[in-house]
Amino acid sequence: MPGDKLTEDVIGDRFGVSRTIVRTVLARLYAEGLVDMQPNKGATIAQPSLSEAQDVFETRMCLERQVIARLAEKVTEDDMESLQRHVELETKANIHDGSAAIRLAGEFHILLASLSGNKVLARYVDEVVSRSSLILALYSRPHSSDCSINEHQQIIDALRQGDGQAAIDAMDHHLKAVADRALLSSTSDKHRDIRSILDRYAS
């Protein structure tokens, strides 16, 4: 969970590698915003503040709109098929395996970004999707992902019909809904909010 200490020795033992390897991985995760690091105090799982979370979602929206704009102009039949297959995977996972469903929901966006063909864009989308997952873990209460799957389908449908603006609108709507589910539930749960703020300054 966010805030947990990531001791190099412990992780190294668990994965059977030395501290050196762990250090390089932690450094990369720090660069990606998934772990916090303080000099001489080591790494913890990142605890994004509410304002950081807002920044992530705003940036994510900006990036994914560009992804959709590109795809609307160049998406192929093969692309559509692999997107459709992915959504079907999501549907199946949603029934029996909650954690797989969460993972697949994120991977849908990563798939879209990689199909866009812009590698820089794809890397940034990958990053903000990962950070979004962390934010969901921190602020959101558990909820069904049925609606997400529906929204994914709507994005695909708009792309299939070649309606770029509708696809962008569908993505906007979807990401706003995700951000709502993530951030709004926290404002109604002030205890948790205050607790996490205090945790930040306590360590």
Here's the x/- map for DNA, 40-69, by CB under 7 A: it reads as: xxxx--------------------------
Task: Output the DSSP codes for 119-133.
Answer: HHHHHHHHHHHHHHH
> Which amino acid is it at 161?
Q
Q: Per CB under 7 A, does 19 bind DNA?
A: yes
CA-based radius of gyration for the chain: 18
Q: Which does 137 bind (CB under 5 to 8 A by kind): DNA, a copy of itself, none?
A: none
Task: Output the DSSP codes for 143-185.
Answer: ---HHHHHHHHHHHHHHHTT-HHHHHHHHHHHHHHHHHHHHHH
To a copy of itself, the closest distance from the beta carbon of 56 in angstroms equals: 5
Tokens standing for 107?
A: 């991977």
CB 109 within 8 A of CB 64: yes
Q: Per CB under 7 A, does 103 bind DNA?
A: no
Contact positions vs a copy of itself (CB under 8 A) = 24, 27-28, 31-33, 52, 55-56, 58-59, 62-63, 65-66, 69-70, 73, 118-121, 124, 128, 200-201
Q: Which does 194 bind (CB under 5 to 8 A by kind): DNA, a copy of itself, none?
A: none
Q: Which residues of this protein are in contact with DNA, per CB under 7 A?
A: 5-10, 17-21, 23, 37, 39-43
